Chains A and B, each alone.
Chain A
Amino acid sequence: MRIVVCVKEVLDPDAVNNYALAGRLEIGEDGKSLTQTTIPRLMNGFDEQALEAALRLRDAGAEGRIGAVSVGPDAATILKHAAALGVDEIASVLMGEPSPDYHVVASLLAAYIRSSGDADLILCGRQASDDDQGVVPALICEALGMPLVTNARAIELAPAADEPTLRITRVTPDGDEVVEVPCPAVVTVSNELGEPRYPTAARKLAARRMKPEIITPEALALSPEALQPRVVAQRQFVPTVSGDCEFLPGETPAELADALIARLRQESVIS
């Protein structure tokens, strides 16, 4: 079975959060990009967990190759990280400016997967922590005619199935759901999957020499329609937060507690 994991490089969301809170998040001259070079770039957290899911499948006995692919201007760093974790193939679809929209990214990923020998399982993160959209996996599944299972916390090969079938535990608002889906399928992974592993020092060293296969959009021979952006970012801004907190007085925990409960009762927030 061939597994392809789609990984995206994002700005560290915690750093973005800290800058935003401090009121120091800078938007570039184009009015839409976050330009602070002090914000680290890293692999989207859910994509690390998607990689982890692929590696766990292999640990559990699934045979075959695991690939990682990324669309972006320069994904070498995160792809080498994937290689250090034990991925067999790494591919970088180069797409610089103008930065592609979700539709174009999904078209490129689907075309890469098709042209590189298809996949039995395509793993994605549940959403990218920069745009939070969570649409690329759905667009890939439609482009390739595959089913989509979202928010997996565990993925295994279903026992005793005639055809390769996945058994997936999904996180839903009503608790966990267990489903089965035949391969090939697109599956998104959620943080409930648990901590991803770290590469060993030796593997990290070996991966440093590994170069991603570089793929240009032209090489994928996509139709102009597939490369036509549909949702184009115009502007990014930091919304204001109200912030008029009243700090309740009290010398001791008991005084603080009494002050709060009294106030909430007075305002009829609680009875």
Chain B
Amino acid sequence: METKTVAVCMWSLGQGGLPVGTEEALTLGRKVASATGARLHLLVLGSLPDDCVETAGRFGVDDVDQIEDAALEAFSPDAYVEALAGYCQQESPALMIFSQAADTRVVAPRLAGRVGAGVVMNAVDVALGEGGGLQATASAYGGDTQMVYELSGAASYVVALSANALLPEPAEGGATQPGCRSIQVDLTGTNERIRVIEQARTEGPRLEDADIIVSGGRGLGGPENYKLIEQLAEALGGLAGASRPIVDEGWVDSSQQVGLTGKITRPALYLAAGISGASQHMAGCSAAKTIVAINKDPDAAIFRYASYGLVGDCLEILPELIRAARQ
């Protein structure tokens, strides 16, 4: 595989700033581009976020490419895949990097299928292997293991970088002054096949943005005890989260699930009560700065990730924590 162009792809849907994870994706893109002597592009679908070109420069981007089209104003998988495929046809990037999120989980593998690229999701790194080809490392089994994949056999690759996999690092040699290019792709023939009947509604603040999260798991014993989690979250000025089993049991809404198939969070404080610490749960919170675990089993896996541990019955400790936090 010859690597001439590495493109980081993103869209902000008119939200103003760069979407979360863009700087991380650019950091990885810069690393691969440097190692292979490729040019680094930032491809933006839709309108350019305010600070886009300046940030791109800080991360060493050579060109900011933009595809603007009425069909890209709202998220539409069919139009997005078509636009990206058109870009691939014109620019032949060897590597397309996405920051993994709900939208990119649909678009990235479809793009790979459309253009015949290889695809790796949940990537934590891409680097040159011993043979001189690219290798992607991705988490598996929820993070219990990691897989190293050799990227060979296709002309191009699509990689989605896991949220929280690495820390953003601006380009070493100082900022670049990226040029801006407008790329034309004909999207008149694309009609979104999926019709939205009822939009998802975000109610209130999101776990992904929370600074403090208090989560409860099966160790709470019953749905009536989840209020302890909500009360402690409120006393600490944070939000309440959950492990999957209590979502599956219907104690709390699925939008509160933290983990591999739930929310990927990055709070300053993550307090987990009655949660065992399975890898699939930790995939959604292990990037927290401080993890506190309350568990009656001193050997629970969660203590391996925690900075502070309280061994005991969470039903007894939580009310005391609520009291102490309110004082």
Residues of A within 8 A of B (CB): 13-14, 16-17, 20-21, 25, 32, 34, 101-103, 106, 126-127, 129-135, 138-143, 147-150, 153, 167, 170-182, 185, 190-192, 194-195, 225, 228-239, 241-248, 250, 253-254, 256-258, 260-261, 263-264, 267, 269-271
A191 to B243, CA, bound (A): 13
Please indicate the chain B residues that have their CB under 8 angstroms from the CB of A14 in the complex. 278
Asked if B194 contacts A179 (CB within 8 A), the reply is yes
CB distance from A16 to the nearest CB of B (A): 5
B154 proximal to A (CB < 8 A):
yes
What CA separation (Å) do A246 and B290 show in the bound complex?
A: 12
B105 located at the interface, meaning its Cβ lies under 8 Å from any Cβ of chain A in the complex: yes
Contact (Cβ within 8 A) B194 A20 = no
Q: State the main secondary structure of chain A at its contact with B.
A: mixed
Give every chain B residue within 8 A of A17 (Cβ-Cβ): 141-142, 144, 278-280, 301
Q: A192 to B309, Cβ gap below 8 A?
A: no
B-side residues, CB < 8 A to A, are 77-78, 101-102, 105-106, 109-110, 112-114, 116-122, 129, 135-136, 138-154, 157, 193-203, 206, 208, 212, 236-237, 244, 247-248, 253-255, 260-261, 263, 268-269, 278-280, 289-290, 292-293, 298, 301, 303-313, 316-317, 319-321, 323-325, 327
How many angstroms from the CA of A15 to the CA of B151 in the assembled complex?
30
| B309 adjacent to A247 (CB under 8 Å) | yes
Number of A-B contacts (CB under 8 A): 263
B312 with A234: CB separation less than 8 A: no
The 5 closest A-B pairs by CB, nearest first: A142-B113, A230-B118, A257-B320, A138-B109, A178-B198
Q: Which of B116, B117, B149, B278 meets A233, CB within 8 Å?
A: B149
Closest to B195 in A: A180
A102, A130, A234: the one within 8 Å of B150 (CB): A234
A191 engages B193 (CB within 8 Å): no
In whole angstroms, how far apart are the Cα atoms of A240 and B59 in the complex? 29
Q: A248–B169 Cα gap in the complex (Å)? A: 35
- The smallest C-beta distance from B43 to any residue of chain A, in angstroms, reads 19
